[in-house]
Amino acid sequence: MKQNIIKLLLVDDEDAFRQIISATLSRRGFIITEAIDGESALSEIINDKPDVVLLDLKMPGMSGIETLQKIREIEPLLPVIILTGHGDFDSAIAGINLEVVDFIQKPVDVDQLGNRIRWLLENTDDIVLREPTIAELMTSSSLYPKVYVDEPMNLVLKTIRSAYLKQIPEDFQPGQVRSALVYDRDEKFLGIVRFSDLLSLVLPSFLGGSPYSTFFTGMFLAQCKVVGNKNISRLVKKQVFIDIEAPLMEAVHLLVEHKLINLPVLEDGELVGIIRGRDIILETARSMWT
């Protein structure tokens, strides 16, 4: 099946790079117009509007971001792909705010570049780079079991174990419920207790931080018997939450800083969902190449 012809404006001050990209993409059905700087790029856009612009970030004179700002003044919806070999964070933020459709780092695989451009133009609903919200990535809190703060550890462990082994929806893979939601008897949400938190209760207090700790067979089983009837109240004294309106990077920071696998998401102080490290990692992979 014949592919649609795409008019591409290539803006780059490197002659050799332009020649390679132009020659290769031309053979793949693209119509290529070249510009060596921002000024000539703007002129080409005004006189002969392209379908997409491939714009180098680092150029003499008007920079790529400055050129992009001018492009947005005359063509707010024109798809622009930024080319960079520098990994500049500030420029990436500026490009996202100016609604680029993608960032591509040099050196470029031309075949992948051509396929990527065609994919972007065919998927117009997702064409602008946009950071997902916590609300979009969080999962329902209803998938997690509920326990009470005055319940003993043995009952809490039994509850989480049952949830861990329970058949759950396909998009929430089995074996991933490793936490429980903790409430008081007035049904106020207090926080999350995780497998790792419960494990800390099993560790005898005299082992904490001691340079002279000794271990022996039977120690673990004995401690399990000792702590089985103790409640989990001390595990929910220091909780970490995230607001549903917070930027996604804040959730990443809290997960890493506190070594957590998930965070309760609050809206006006009420629990509305759970954001998991797993889902953020999957989003990271998607953001790198989608």
Distance in angstroms between the alpha carbons of the first and the last residue of the chain: 24
- Report d(CA 259, CA 261) in Å as an integer: 7
- Report d(CA 154, CA 83) in Å as an integer: 57
Tell me 207's DSSP state. G
CA distances to 106, 107, 130 from 10, rounded to whole Å, are: 14, 15, 23
- Report d(CA 38, CA 50) in Å as an integer: 15
Contact assessment for residue 271 and residue 141, using Cβ atoms and an 8 Å cutoff: yes
Domain check: are 111 and 151 in the same one? no
Domain check: are 200 and 79 in the same one? no
Residue whose tokens read 């319940």:
151
**Domain enclosing residue 158, as ranges:** 135-288
pLDDT at residue number 135: 94
pLDDT at residue number 290: 47
Domain check: are 83 and 168 in the same one? no
CB-based burial label for 176 (10 Å; 0-12, 13-18, 19+): middle
Instruction: Tell me the CATH number at 48.
Output: 3.40.50.2300
Which of 109, 126, 143 represents a domain boundary (last residue)?
126
Cα-based torsion angle of the residue sequence 14, 19, 21, 23 in order, rounded to the nearest 10 degrees: 180
Contact assessment for residue 235 and residue 121, using Cβ atoms and an 8 Å cutoff: no
Tell me 139's DSSP state. B
Domain-embedded: residue 1: no
Which of 126, 161, 185 represents a domain boundary (last residue)?
126
Tens digits of per-residue pLDDT, 121-180?
887 655 666 778 899 899 899 889 999 999 888 888 888 888 777 755 555 554 467 889
Q: Is the pTM of this model over 0.75?
A: no
pLDDT at residue number 225: 82
- Report d(CA 13, CA 58) in Å as an integer: 9
Q: Which helix (H) or strand (E) segment is 182 a member of?
A: strand 179-183
Domain check: are 177 and 219 in the same one? yes
List of the chain residues with pLDDT < 70? 1-3, 86-98, 124-129, 167-176, 208-210, 285-290
pLDDT at residue number 61: 87
> What is the Rg, in whole angstroms, of the alpha carbon atoms belonging to the chain?
27
- Report d(CA 88, CA 31) in Å as an integer: 30
pLDDT at residue number 202: 81
Contact assessment for residue 244 and residue 266, using Cβ atoms and an 8 Å cutoff: yes
Domain-embedded: residue 19: yes
Domain-embedded: residue 267: yes
Cα-based torsion angle of the residue sequence 111, 113, 115, 116 in order, rounded to the nearest 10 degrees: 160
